[in-house]
């Protein structure tokens, strides 16, 4: 099997083929997801909450992400592997380069960064140095204390316009993938149609080019709580492989997320 690449994902957007993505943190689950043809695996800083039991993602270090990236990469043959840049690992352009290089050396094919226009110099520099970048807008968990909690973003016109403007500038700077988290369905659809790069949604409705869930949420086994935008696929299936397969089928067919998993 050929490994999924940025070109693969771009072609999927252009052909209106939905992209199915999940988080992964170890080789065993990565192998299962890879064998079920999950397109993208993200080593998310969500590991702070679902693995460590923290209330947020802020304690996760670059070494944590690098360790789990090495594990996930060893379990994959086909899936595209994206690694999160954790909190304060890209606070300056210089440490962005160093930390992104660590994740690429650990096996990532792309790094993901949360934030808008303030990231433009770092993104441009990474792309110039051969490191692909995924953006992340909307609810950015590393800014949870600024937002005053895990709240939907973009419900007001001014805020929605800012997210759209940020997305367009990030694309101009060179990102090749964008994650939109917890934004109204109409806003996510508008942004997806405005960009030429693939947009992956989580709590962003069905109008994006693909979907991602935290694997623990998809299995209904998260330690903290089940987000509104998630669905427990293990509840109605016989085993984990069947749950993953059902999730992929629902994403590809546009059945997930439904209105009950989305925000207006």
Active site residues: 181
Please choose, from the candidates 190, 116, 183, the residue with its C-alpha nearest in 3D space to the C-alpha of residue 153.
183
The reply, when asked if residue 242 is annotated as ligand binding, is no
**Residue owning tokens 């207006």:** 264
- One-character DSSP codes across 79-143: SEEEEE--TTTTSSHHHHHHHHHHHHHHT-SEEEEE-SGGGHHHHHHHHHTT--EEEEEES-GGG
**7 carries a ligand binding annotation:** no
Element (H, E) at 164: helix 157-173
Contact (CB, 8 A) for 102 and 66: yes
For the chain, what is the largest distance between any 2 Cα atoms, rounded to a whole number of angstroms? 48
Q: Tell whether residue 45 is among the known ligand binding residues.
A: yes
Cα-trace Rg, the chain: 17
**CA–CA separation, 45 vs 59, rounded Å?**
9
* Phi, psi for 201 (deg, rounded to 5): -105, 150
Rounded Cα–Cα distance for residues 150 and 183 (Å): 12
206 annotated ligand binder: no
Percent of the chain as helix, strand, coil, to the nearest 5: 45, 15, 40
Annotated binding residue 46: yes
Calpha distance 203→185 (Å, rounded): 8
- For the annotated binding site for Mg(2+), the residues are 45, 84, 114
- For the annotated binding site for 3-methyl-2-oxobutanoate, the residues are 45-46, 84, 112
- For the annotated binding site, the residues are 45-46, 84, 112, 114
């Amino acid at each position: 099997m050929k490994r999924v690449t940025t070109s693969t994902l771009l072609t999927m957007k252009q052909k209106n083929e939905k992209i199915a993505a999940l988080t992964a943190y170890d080789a065993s689950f990565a192998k299962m997801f890879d064998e079920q043809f999950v397109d993208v695996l993200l080593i998310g800083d969500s590991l702070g909450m679902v693995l460590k039991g923290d209330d947020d993602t802020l304690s996760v270090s670059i070494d944590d992400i690098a360790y789990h990236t090495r594990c996930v990469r060893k379990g994959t043959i086909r899936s595209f592997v994206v690694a999160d840049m954790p909190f304060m690992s890209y606070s300056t352009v210089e440490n962005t380069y160093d930390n992104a290089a660590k994740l690429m050396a650990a096996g990532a094919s792309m790094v993901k960064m949360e934030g808008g226009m303030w990231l433009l110099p770092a993104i441009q520099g990474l792309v110039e140095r051969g490191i692909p970048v995924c953006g992340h807008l909307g609810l950015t968990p590393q800014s949870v204390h600024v937002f005053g909690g895990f709240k939907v973003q973009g419900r007001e016109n001014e805020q929605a316009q800012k997210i759209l403007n940020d997305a367009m500038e990030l694309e101009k700077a060179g990102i090749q993938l964008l994650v939109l988290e917890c934004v109204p369905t109409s806003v996510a659809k508008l942004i997806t149609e405005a960009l030429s790069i693939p947009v992956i949604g989580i709590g962003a409705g069905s109008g994006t080019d693909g979907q991602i869930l935290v694997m623990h949420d998809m299995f209904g086994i998260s330690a903290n709580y089940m987000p509104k935008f998630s669905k427990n696929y293990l509840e109605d299936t016989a085993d984990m492989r069947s749950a993953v397969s059902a999730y992929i089928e629902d994403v590809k067919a546009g059945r997930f997320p439904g209105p009950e998993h989305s925000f207006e």
